[in-house]
Amino acid sequence: MVNIQFPNESADYRAAREKLLEAEIALRAQVEEVARQRRQLPAGGALKEDYVFDELINGAVRQVRFSEILPPDKDTLFVYSFMYGPEMDAACPMCTSLLDGLDGQMAHISQRIGAVVVAKNPIHKIHEHATSRGWSELRLLSSADNSYNVDYYGEVDGNQQTMINVFKRDADSPNGFTHFWASEMAFAPTEPGQNMRHTDMLWPLWNVLDVTPEGRGDWYPALSYSQPVTFGAL
C-alpha cells in the first residue's frame, strides 16, 4: 500500500503494518465523515441567557457578558467547562492535562474562533491554578454567580463535569447566539475498559500514548509528579 520499509523489519511485520494502515486510513475517513456531519448540524437552541461571568484583568475583577466575549470578527465560540469548583480541594488533573496543551495552541485557535475556559470557582482561585501551571494564553472565566454550568452540563447533580460546548453567533436569536455542538459522548455508554473519551481528540497526551506499545494503560495524569523528568547533560 505504501512504498516504504524500515531497516531490518521482517515480512511478518510489514504485512501486519500494511493491514493496520488500512484500518488507520479507514479511521481517517470516518473522522472526516463525522466532522462533515457535525458541520451540517441545523441550528441548535437559542442561548438560554446572556450569562454574566467574572474575569480577572490586570489584577482587577470585571464582569463580562456572554454576548461580549467574542470579538466582532469572529462568529464561533468554543467553551471548555473546567472541573474546578469551590467544593473541590484541587483542580481536576485530567482537565489540567488537557488545558496544559490547549494553552500552547491558543495563539493559533484564536485566528479562527473565540475560546474560553469556564470554571465554577471564584476567579482568583482559577487564576492561582493557572499561574501554577504556567498558563498564559487561555481566557479564563468564573461561572460562580450564574447557572451556565448547570444549563450546559458543566455541572450535573452538584458535581463538576468536563464538557465542551460550541456556540454560533446569531443576530436573529434571543441573546445573540445559538448552541451548535456539545461533547455529549460524555453521557453515552462506554465499552469495557474505556472512559468517555469525549475530549480525547483534542488531547495530545492520549494521542501520543495510543501510538506506543504500552498504550494508555491503567494510568491517569496527576497534578504533579514526585520524581521530575531529568535529561542528561548536553
CB atoms within 10 A of CB 207: 12
CB atoms within 10 A of CB 118: 24
Q: What is the extent of the structural domain holding 136?
A: 52-186
Residues 17 and 130 occupy one common structural domain: no
Residues 158 and 81 occupy one common structural domain: yes
Residue 227 lies in a domain: no
Residues 156 and 91 occupy one common structural domain: yes
Task: Please say if the pLDDT value at position 233 is more than 50.
Answer: no
Residue 205 lies in a domain: no
Residue 192 lies in a domain: no
Identify the H or E element spanning 36: helix 11-39
Residue 166 lies in a domain: yes
pLDDT tens digits, 109-141? 999 999 999 999 999 999 999 999 999 999 999
DSSP 138-165: --EEE-TTSSHHHHTTSEETTEE--EEE
Residues 124 and 23 occupy one common structural domain: no
Residue 106 lies in a domain: yes
Grid coordinates in use for 52?
A: 454574566
pLDDT tens digits, 18-51? 999 999 999 999 999 999 999 999 999 999 999 9
Calculate mean pLDDT across residues 182-204. Answer: 90
pLDDT tens digits, 195-206? 888 998 899 999
Residue 74 lies in a domain: yes
Q: Could you give the CA distance from residue 55 to residue 139 in angstroms, rounded to a whole number?
A: 8
pLDDT of residue 134: 97
Residues 95 and 147 occupy one common structural domain: yes
Q: How far from each other are the two terminal CA atoms of the chain, in whole angstroms? A: 40
Residues 113 and 4 occupy one common structural domain: no
